[in-house]
Structure 1
Amino acid sequence: MKHNRYWGSVPRPQSKAEFFNAVAAERADGGGTVATIRMYGPIDSWGGWWGISTKDIGKVLDALPDSVDQIILRINSPGGEVSEGMAILNMLRAHKAKVTAVVDGRACSAASFIAAGCDESVMSPGTLQMIHSPWGFAIGNARDMQKAASVLNVHEASLIEVYTAKAGEKDWPALLADETWLTGPQAVELGLADRVAVIPDAGEAETAGSEPVIITVDPEEDDDFDDIDDAASPLIAARVAASLKLPSSSEPGDPNQKEALAMSDTIKAGLIERLGVKDADISDEALLAAVDEALDEQADTEDAPAVATLPKGFVAVDENVWAETQANARQGAEARAQQEKDRRDGIVAAALRTGQISTASASAIREQLDTDEKGTVAFLATVPKNSVPVEPVGVSDTLTSTDDALYSAMYGATEKEA
C-alpha cells in the first residue's frame, strides 16, 4: 500500500469528492443563497490526492453564485501546511459572504487557525481542536538549523496572531508547545470557538423549498490528478457558470416542468451531420426519432456475428496447418544448428591436422568459433602450418626422446655416444 505524508497507511479516497466538495442552495424565504464547503481532508499545497489546496478553495469561491451571502465551512482535518492554511483562511476572509466554520470531527494544527479565523466558529458536539507549535525538517550545518528554528518561530508568531484575534491574550507559546487538545466546550471556554451546536448544511434557516446546486468541474480541465496512478472521479466543488440559475421545484411529487426544453443549435447541427439527415429544418422530435432509429440499427448490427477482415498482406491459416508449419520450422532450425556445429568442429580438426593449434588449445579455439567465427578463421589463416608437432615426441621410429632429436640435429647421429 502506498503511503501519503498525511493519509499515512489509510486507504486512499477513490475521488476528491470524498474529502472536498461544495453545494449551494437558496433560502426558502428568498433571502439569499447559502453555500456549504466541506474540508474533510489534509491541507496541502500539492492538491490532488495529497489534500486540499488554495487552488481548490479558489475554484469553489470563484464558482459561487453572486447571491451567496453565507458560507458554511465544515471541517474535519488533521491540518497540514501552515502557509497554505493561512492563504485559505485569508481567501475566505476576503469573500463578501459571512463565513461560519463548523468543526464536524477535528480541527487540528493548520485547520484549527482556519476555524478560529472565520467570522464565527462552531464546534459540533463531541468534536476536538488541537493547537501546537509548527514543525518541519532541516538538513545542514548549525547555521542552517538555527535558520530553520528562526523560521519556525516566525510561523508560530503568525499563528498566535490569529489565535489572539479570536480568543485574546493567553500564554499561547506554552499552549502551542504542549500540543493542547480541546473538546468543544473547552475550545469555547478558551475562546477559540463561539459555541457548541449542530449547524445544518444550508444554514440555520429552513431550506425545504430549494434544491441544492452541486458545483462541478469538467475533469478534463482539472489537472489536480495528473500524477495519480488511479482514475479519479470528477472533482465536486470547482466552478459553475456565472449565469447558473438555481432549479425550482413544484410541491412534493413529480416535478412539474413549466416550459419545454429546446435543443441547442450546436447539438442539433452535430446530430444532423452524424446521422446524415438531409432536412436542415427537421424538428427536434423528428431528429430524436432518427437517433432512436440509428441506435436500434446499431443494436441489430452488434447482435450479428462479426466477420473479421484481415489487413492487406495477411492470410488466414488453418490451426493444424499452422502447427505443422511451426514444427517444420523447429526441425529446420535444429538441422541448421547441427550443420553449424559440424562445420566448426571440422575447422578445429583441420587446424589440428595441419599443426596450426595444439590439442590443449583446441577447446578454446572451438568456443571462440561460436562467438566470432569470422575473426577466429582469419586468425588461424595467419598461423603457419606445422607450428605444432603433429606426432607426439617419443613415437618416431628414429628418435626415442627429445634429447635424441636434439643430438641428432647437432651431430648427425641417431644415438648419443657413451
Structure 2
Amino acid sequence: MTTKHKNRYWGDAALPTSKAEFFNAITTPASAGDGTVATIRMYGPIDSYGGFWGISTKDMGVVLDALPDSVTQIVLRINSPGGEVFEAMSILNMLRSHKASVTAVVDGLAASAASFVAAGCGETVMSPGSQMMIHSPMSFSYGNAGDFRKTADVLDSVEASMVEIYTEKAGAKDWAALLSDETWMTAAASVELGLADRIAVIPDAGETETVGADELVFTAPDGYDDTLARVVRLPDRAAARSHNLPSSSELGQPTRKEPLTMSEILQAGLRERLGVTDSAISDEQLLAAVDEVLDKATEPAPTVPVGTVLIDSAVLTDLQASAALGRQAREEQDNSRRAAIVDSAVKDGRIAPASRDLWLTNLAASEEGTTAIIASLAKNVVPVSEIGTSEDPSEADSLYALAWGTDTKEA
C-alpha cells in the first residue's frame, strides 16, 4: 500500500516499505562487524505493535542480539515523538542491561516516552538545535467511576516510575509541575535542568549494516486510516495502556490484517465531547470533526497590544454605570457653581438680572474667561433696589402738597 496520507508521523512522504526507513539498525567500523562502537538509530514512534507502527521492544532486541561481541559502546541516536510508556521503559532497560556502555544522542527530538529513554542512558548528549519534552502520562479509558479512579491511580503510578528515571539523572526537582506543564526544553535548557550531560556533535561509528534487511519489508494494513491512528493511539504522547493488545507479527509481515474500526464506546465518547447530536454520523465525518477541533486548538491565541487591558463585560457595565452617575453629579456641581457666580454678580450690581441666562451660557462655554470678565465689571453699575416706592414723601412732594393742599400720603 503506497497511498499518501497528510497526517502521518512521516509527513507527506510515501508510506515506508521497510523498517530500515525509520529504525535502521547498526553501523559498525568495518563490514566484518568486529568494531568496538555500534550506532543504533531510533528514528520514529515507540509502539508495542512494532512493524509498521513504530519501534517495539522486540525490534530493539533483534538489533541488540545482532551486535558483534566486540562492541563495547553503543551510540543510540534518537529522533522520536515518544509513544508507549511500558514499551519505552523496556527498551531502556534492555539497553542498560547490555554489556556495552550506552550514549544517547538526541539528533532532533526526544519527547514524551523517548525523553526518559534518552535521560536513562549512561550519557545523554544533545545535538545542536535539538529539543526534549516531558509531560505527564495519559490514557484512554471507559467504564464506571471506579474504573476511572483506578485508571487515575495507574497513571499516578506510571508517572512515579518516570520520575525515578528523571530523578536518577537530574536529581530532585518539582517533577510533578514540570510534567503537568508539558515542559519543552532546548538543548541548553535540557543540560541546565540536568536531563542531558552536554551539547555536542557525535559522529556515527562507520559503515552501515541494516540487520535483517531482507526480512524487514512490509506493507500498510488494508483499510489503514492514519487519522484514526493519530486520534486513538496518540503516537506523540506517553500512553499508559493495557497490554491486552494484538501480539506483534514477525518483522516483514503486516501487523494488523483486520480492518480498523472505531468502537461504539469511543465513537459515543467523541460525539459527546464534540457536541455531535447525529448518532448516524460516519467514522470519517466524526474524525473530520476531531481534525477541525485539533486545528483550532493549534491556532495561535490573539496577542493583546501593549497598553491594552482586557476586562470582564460585567465589570465594564458596572464601571460605565458608575461613570454615568459621576458625570451627572459633576454636571450638577458645575451648574450650581456657575449659578452662584451669576447670582453674586447680579447682587453686586455688575450685571443686570435680565441677562442672567446669557451669562450662564457664556460660563458653560468658557468658565474661566467669563468669570474673569465678570470680575472686571464695576460694582453697583446696575441698580439692585426698586425705584419710586418709598414710604416717606420726598421734599419736593411735601412742598407740592402745601401749595395745593394735597396730602401726598393719601394720593
Amino acid at match of 1:116: A
Counterpart-to-counterpart distance in 2, 1:95 and 1:107: 21
2:128 corresponding residue in structure 1: 125
The equivalent position to 2:110 in structure 1, one of 98, 107, 110, is: 107
Offset at residue 122 of structure 1 (A): 0.3
The 8 Å contact of residues 135 and 152 in structure 1, kept in 2 or not, is answered as yes
Q: 1:138 to 1:5 in 2, by over 3 A?
A: farther
What are the Cα deviations for residues 323-370 of structure 1, in whole angstroms up to 9, with x where unaligned? xxxxxxxxxxxxxxxxxxxxxxxxxxxxxxxxxxxxxxxxxxxxxxxx
Q: 1:176 to 1:3 in 2, by over 3 A?
A: farther
Q: What pairs up with 1:206-355 in 2 under 5 angstroms?
A: 211-219=207-215, 223-227=250-254
Offset at residue 216 of structure 1 (A): 2.9
Counterpart-to-counterpart distance in 2, 1:48 and 1:152: 27
Offset at residue 21 of structure 1 (A): 1.1
Task: Indicate the SS of the match to 1:112.
Answer: helix
Amino acid at match of 2:103: T
Task: Indicate the SS of the match to 2:24.
Answer: strand
Counterpart-to-counterpart distance in 1, 2:192 and 2:162: 19
2:137 corresponding residue in structure 1: 134
Counterpart-to-counterpart distance in 2, 1:136 and 1:9: 24
Q: 1:8 to 1:75 in 2, by over 3 A?
A: closer
Q: 1:6 to 1:158 in 2, by over 3 A?
A: farther
The 8 Å contact of residues 82 and 114 in structure 2, kept in 1 or not, is answered as yes
Instruction: State the identity %.
Output: 64
Amino acid at match of 2:254: D
Task: Indicate the SS of the match to 1:182.
Answer: strand
The unaligned stretches of length 5 or more in structure 2 are: 218-248, 258-411
Higher relative contact order (CA 8 A, sep 6+): 2
Offset at residue 12 of structure 1 (A): 2.6
Counterpart-to-counterpart distance in 2, 1:91 and 1:155: 19
1:193 corresponding residue in structure 2: 196
Counterpart-to-counterpart distance in 2, 1:61 and 1:155: 26
Q: Does 1:43 align with 2:39?
A: no
Q: 1:172 to 1:24 in 2, by over 3 A?
A: same
Q: Does 1:88 align with 2:84?
A: no
Offset at residue 225 of structure 1 (A): 3.9
Amino acid at match of 1:121: T
User: How many residues are matched?
Assistant: 222
Q: 1:46 to 1:62 in 2, by over 3 A?
A: same
What are the Cα deviations for residues 254-285 of structure 1, in whole angstroms up to 9, with x where unaligned? xxxxxxxxxxxxxxxxxxxxxxxxxxxxxxxx
Counterpart-to-counterpart distance in 2, 1:220 and 1:189: 40
Offset at residue 68 of structure 1 (A): 0.3
The 8 Å contact of residues 4 and 50 in structure 1, kept in 2 or not, is answered as no
Q: 1:227 to 1:26 in 2, by over 3 A?
A: closer
What are the Cα deviations for residues 15-44 of structure 1, in whole angstroms up to 9, with x where unaligned? 2111001223238xx995211100110000
Counterpart-to-counterpart distance in 1, 2:6 and 2:84: 14
What are the Cα deviations for residues 229-252 of structure 1, in whole angstroms up to 9, with x where unaligned? 99xxxxxxxxxxxxxxxxxxxxxx
Q: 1:118 to 1:176 in 2, by over 3 A?
A: same
Offset at residue 220 of structure 1 (A): 8.0
Counterpart-to-counterpart distance in 2, 1:43 and 1:4: 20
1:364 corresponding residue in structure 2: none
Q: Does 1:160 align with 2:156?
A: no
TM-score normalised over the length of structure 2: 0.50
Task: Indicate the SS of the match to 1:20.
Answer: coil
Q: Does 1:169 align with 2:172?
A: yes
Task: Indicate the SS of the match to 2:132.
Answer: strand
Counterpart-to-counterpart distance in 2, 1:31 and 1:223: 28
The equivalent position to 2:79 in structure 1, one of 76, 81, 99, is: 76
Q: 1:9 to 1:72 in 2, by over 3 A?
A: closer
Amino acid at match of 1:92: L
Counterpart-to-counterpart distance in 2, 1:66 and 1:7: 35
Task: Indicate the SS of the match to 2:110.
Answer: strand
Counterpart-to-counterpart distance in 2, 1:80 and 1:66: 31
The 8 Å contact of residues 110 and 132 in structure 2, kept in 1 or not, is answered as yes
1:65 corresponding residue in structure 2: 68
Amino acid at match of 1:25: T
Counterpart-to-counterpart distance in 1, 2:39 and 2:151: 38
Counterpart-to-counterpart distance in 1, 2:140 and 2:89: 20
Task: Indicate the SS of the match to 1:83.
Answer: helix
Offset at residue 227 of structure 1 (A): 2.2
Counterpart-to-counterpart distance in 1, 2:9 and 2:144: 31
Counterpart-to-counterpart distance in 2, 1:218 and 1:19: 16
Q: Does 1:19 align with 2:46?
A: no
Counterpart-to-counterpart distance in 1, 2:161 and 2:7: 24
The 8 Å contact of residues 49 and 225 in structure 1, kept in 2 or not, is answered as no
Offset at residue 224 of structure 1 (A): 2.8
Amino acid at match of 2:250: D
The 8 Å contact of residues 43 and 81 in structure 1, kept in 2 or not, is answered as yes
What are the Cα deviations for residues 294-348 of structure 1, in whole angstroms up to 9, with x where unaligned? xxxxxxxxxxxxxxxxxxxxxxxxxxxxxxxxxxxxxxxxxxxxxxxxxxxxxxx
Offset at residue 219 of structure 1 (A): 1.3
The 8 Å contact of residues 25 and 34 in structure 1, kept in 2 or not, is answered as yes
Counterpart-to-counterpart distance in 1, 2:41 and 2:216: 23
Q: 1:61 to 1:180 in 2, by over 3 A?
A: same
Q: Does 1:180 align with 2:207?
A: no
1:298 corresponding residue in structure 2: none
